[in-house]
Amino acid sequence: MRDNGRRSGKKIAGRSVRRSVAASFIAVLCALLLLITQSFAQSESKVRMTSKTYPSSSPSPAERAYPKEIRGYKLARAKVKIRKSAGASKDGDEADADSDALIQFGEPRIVRTTPLGITLEVPVTVAAVKQGGRVDFLTFEDMVVNGMPVTIEDYMHSFELPNKEPVSLPQPVRLFISSPRAIAGAISDWSNPQATWPVTGRVYVFGHYKKFIFRAKRVVPVELSLTLANPLRNQKSDDKTTDPAIKQ
């Protein structure tokens, strides 16, 4: 009888120990999840404060250190001269600000959604410039959309630099936003909706540019500061205006 009592006591003690260990493990796991969530929220807030409150903290184009050569193209720190159209407005609105940029973004379209993030296709218009030449491809660096760092795929389609009128590129660029940043952006947009999102970053224009009677193989870095139509707002408006019969 005593042996049976001892065995049952040991079983009860073992169960209580296992339960306490499991409860401790769950508590530690919940604490880790809470810490990860808080650290991510703090990092997001720091990114937004840095990009919005202290825009001058990043080095200016004149101070930035560029490599002498990228992908076999010699780097040329030349200023791209935009050719103004005859009917250009002189008002200081966003459209005129974008008209001073080498490239402009059109209406974005969501083409893919995965657990990893969202992929957008964005039409691109290249402004008319005074330089002549042919662009081989474009690469993007340090791109930030509405305070969210994003990734834009290299544009590997060649085209001639327009000299008279802006030209829309035949293929859109593909922009990727990771899921955590997309969720944070959606929450921010719900609390403070905006028709357009600010876009900053850098584009490297690889090509062969006319120099007298020769063509020089060069890459030209161009700083970007433009706007992008809010894809979340456009998605909401499309849902509202879609005919219910079409949805069925």
Q: Supply the DSSP symbol for 242.
A: S
- Distance between CA 156 and CA 139 in Å, rounded? 8
Q: Going by C-beta distance under 8 Å and a sequence separation of 6 or more, which residues neighbour residue 205?
A: 80, 102, 135, 138, 219, 220, 221, 222
**What does the pLDDT read at residue 124?**
96
pLDDT value for 68: 93
Confidence class for position 215, pLDDT limits 50, 70, 90? confident
Q: What b-and-e string marks burial along 142-154, b requiring 16 or more CB atoms within 10 Å of the CB?
A: ebbbbbbebebee
pTM, entire model? 0.66
Residue 239 confidence (pLDDT): 46
pLDDT tens digit string along 47-85? 344 333 333 345 555 567 889 999 999 999 888 888 876
Q: What are the extents of the domains in the chain?
A: 1-55, 58-242
By C-alpha distance, which of 124, 126, 123 is closest to 83? 126
Farthest-apart Cα atoms in the chain, separation? 108
Q: What's the mean per-residue pLDDT of the chain?
A: 74
Using the predicted structure, report yes or no on whether residue 248 has a pLDDT greater than 90: no
Comparing CA positions, the residue from 226, 201, 203 lying closest to residue 138 is 203
Per-residue model confidence as pLDDT tens digits over 150-204? 999 999 999 999 999 999 999 999 999 988 877 777 667 676 778 888 999 999 9
- 158 Cβ contact partners less than 8 Å away, ≥ 6 residues apart: 134, 135, 136, 137
**pLDDT tens, 121-134?**
999 999 999 888 99
Q: How far is the C-alpha of 244 from the C-alpha of 248, rounded, in Å?
A: 6
Which fold does the domain 58-242 belong to in CATH? Immunoglobulin-like (2.60.40)
Q: What distance in Å separates the CA atoms of residue 166 and residue 99, rounded to the nearest whole number?
A: 10
Exposed / middle / buried, residue 104 (Cβ in 10 Å: 0-12, 13-18, 19+): buried
